[in-house]
Chains A and B, each alone.
Chain A
Amino acid sequence: MTATAVVPPASMARSSVRAGVLLAATGGLVLLALLSLTLGSRDVAPFEALRVFTDPTPSADATVIREMRLPRTLIAIGVGAALAVSGAILQSLARNPLADAGVFGINAGAAAAVVVSAFVFGSMPVSGSVWFAFLGAGATTVAVYVIAAVGREGATPVKLALAGVCITALCGSVTSALVLADPDALEELRMWQVGALGGRYFPVLTQVAPFLVIGLVLSLCTGRILNLLSLGEDLARGLGVRTGAARAGLFALVAVLCGAATAACGPIVFVGLMVPHAARLITGPDYRWILAYSAVLGPALMLGADIIGRLVLPGGEIPVGVVIGVLGAPAFVLLVRYRNLVEL
């Protein structure tokens, strides 16, 4: 499913159409961000909600919007972009259309690290466990890559997937063992089993923002390399790409992005899996465009799902991870069906 055709020299016309659609999508994202600031369990009139950004008078409404909904919106945007972009990179690297953070044991690693930290240090606030989630995500990504890289051929797609499955199983058993032994760890894990944006405020955002921003900026520059790698190992090498080094660098980027995303709001399924496919559907196989579209559509999906989760239950909310899971499964099936029809 990854691109096999040589990238066609993009005509000016096609480029401008893609750019136009991307611009429209970005406009949609901005609209969703505004909705995310104005909609929620607390009733605030839409214009009143936007006025708090120009009017410094302190009020409960201003606190809710500036300090609760704003960081939440920004985290959703950053996490959505990070997951979608890293999903696109992983699918290319692993030559596997089903690759995402879950397949590589990254979520499992983050959860295991949080549970271990709760077991060793007792339960802690989100801003503390973020670091452990990050550590766990990073460590598993490195472990998967190193295990897969052993041997003559290096980190081939199949070896990456197998190493990911192994590490996921290992982390899963560590988590289960500790959770059975220690109620503190169970309490902590509950928050990390399903991704959620509620209860995350500026401290969490400022902790993960540097990683998200740097990771995203660098990722958006990898389009050319990904295009060349998608030509196949031999051709890419023939065109002057040092494939081993390129893969290692891309993997490091994925570790940073997924680690920060998982640390910020726990495991979120489907964004990394589905958004790159949707992007590819719109743009064709050019990774420069796939990455750019992923960086816009990922946040849009996160925000949309989060807003729905805030509104369906009166007085409470459904975690964004659950909403995306529920909406994502049928959407993904449709997408795959549609793509198959196109490819046939």
Chain B
Amino acid sequence: MRRPLFAATAAAALLLSGCSASDSDAGGDEVAWSYTSGDGETYTAAEIPTRIIAEASSAKALMEFGIEPIGIWASNPIEEDVSLQGVDFSGIEVLGEEWGKIDVAAAAELQPDLIVGDWWPVEEAYSGLEAGVEEESKKLAELAPVVGPAQSDSVVTLIEGYAELAETLGADPDQIAESRTAFDAAVADFQAATAEKPGLTALAVSPYDTSYAIAVPEHAPELLDFQQWGLNVIDPETPDPDFPYWETLSMENADKYQPDLLLFDDRWHPGNEDTLAAAPISSSITAFAAGQTTTWPGYWLHTYSDYASELTRLAGVIRSADENLVQE
């Protein structure tokens, strides 16, 4: 059932444009759209793609620059996902709200001409098409070219990648520049705040019932950014060998690192803070006992506006924090 639909899509695209990205024989001189994607390849089309299906975070990034997709898929229920708040997806078809599950039949009916997701260099795959995703869902890639900027060691690079993609899709450069200016101001403010508290150390954590996971900045682009901008985010000593994003401690050892400021992964907040509070060892974590805690945006930032508001909030927390809470 899916195949005829796909054939119809391709035929319609050919009829409309006389040419498509995958067809090189129909006089491919006219290139109206070209984009060098995260996987290193340059994709071209004779017309600027307008029927876009995007992973929800990518969709949010494009929408900030005025490019609205016609379909999205998310890894979690959209209403509950902290990374998808503050954006109006109404009128956009939702093709999945569970990791690894995309309704490809519904996607085919939307007749997309472009599919957008983050490129993950380590996994060498786009969001939604990684190892572990259901084979049925991966057929999404057959509907249209899949593109997107690469995840890297800075969230800023990722957002710049989306700005660049949005521009090729017809976004207003002035609007992009405007978001960027506001964001740069937030970064400057954050840098000023960390400069005021040079001794402040921070630790990014995610507590569970019996374990206490510490984020490894090397694999958390926003934490690398924070370090770049002057916040001393502690690098844990022994990342888990099989999943180096975290160093997982047993709850009994949760006092191993003593930061001045404790940052909770905001995706599971406030539940994770309650979990830590229930564990008696939390009284031996000086920052927690002193109430010097806040959240950090855990692995989800995709837009200048989200990043700017997080930086502004964190700058406020940093300014009011006691940088000498823990004596070395």
Contacts and interface: CB of A to CB of B under 8 A. Distances in A.
A196 B211 CA distance: 13
A59 B255 CA distance: 11
B251 interface: yes
B278 A183 contact: no
Contact of B279 (A69, A196, A199): A199
Nearest to B285: A60
B50 interface: no
B279 A125 contact: no
Interface centre among B252, B271, B278, B279 (most CB of A within 10 A): B252
Given A42-B252, A315-B249, A201 B284 contact: no
Contact of A60 (B249, B271, B274, B284): B284
A68 B279 contact: yes
Contacts of A48: none
Nearest to A68: B280
Interface centre among B211, B251, B280, B283 (most CB of A within 10 A): B280
B210 interface: yes
Interface centre among B248, B251, B274 (most CB of A within 10 A): B251
Interface in B116-136: none
Nearest to B76: A183
A123 B271 contact: yes
A199 B209 contact: yes
B82 to A, nearest CB: 15
Interface string B255-284: 100000000000000010011001111011
Given A123-B271, A199-B210, A315 B248 contact: yes
B281 A60 contact: yes
B250 interface: yes
B253 interface: yes
Contact of A68 (B209, B248, B281): B281
A284 to B, nearest CB: 41
B77 interface: yes
Contacts of A41: 250, 252-253
Contacts of A202: 280
Given A68-B279, A198-B210, A317-B210, A125 B250 contact: no
B278 A201 contact: yes
Contacts of B279: 68, 199, 201
Interface in A94-140: 123, 125-127
Interface in B55-93: 77
Contacts of A199: 209-210, 251, 278-279
Interface in B221-260: 248-253, 255
B251 A198 contact: yes
Interface bin, chain A: 20 to 34
Interface residues of B, number: 20
A64 interface: yes
B97 to A, nearest CB: 10
Contact of B283 (A63, A125, A191): A63
A315 B253 CA distance: 9
A94 to B, nearest CB: 34
Interface in A30-76: 40-42, 59-60, 63-64, 67-69
Contacts of A68: 251-252, 279-281
B280 A196 contact: no
A37 to B, nearest CB: 12
B252 A40 contact: yes
A127 B278 CA distance: 9
Contacts of A315: 248-250, 253
Nearest to B271: A123
Nearest to A183: B77
Contacts of B275: 125
A63 B280 contact: yes
A28 interface: no
A339 to B, nearest CB: 37
A316 interface: yes
Given A42-B250, A199-B210, A316-B248, A63 B271 contact: no
A183 B268 CA distance: 14
A147 B279 CA distance: 42
A63 to B, nearest CB: 5
A64 B248 contact: no
A202 B249 CA distance: 22
Nearest to A62: B284
Nearest to A67: B280
A63 B281 contact: yes
Contact of B278 (A59, A69, A126): A126
Given A40-B250, A315-B250, A316-B250, 10 more contacts: A40-B252, A64-B280, A125-B275, A125-B278, A196-B210, A198-B209, A199-B278, A201-B280, A316-B210, A316-B211
Interface of A: 40-42, 59-60, 63-64, 67-69, 123, 125-127, 183, 191, 196, 198-199, 201-203, 315-317
**Nearest 4 pairs of A and B residues by beta carbon:** A199-B209, A67-B280, A198-B210, A41-B250
22 contacts: A42-B250, A42-B252, A42-B253, A63-B283, A64-B280, A67-B280, A67-B281, A68-B279, A68-B280, A68-B281, A69-B252, A125-B278, A126-B209, A127-B278, A183-B77, A198-B209, A198-B210, A203-B278, A315-B248, A315-B249, A316-B211, A317-B250
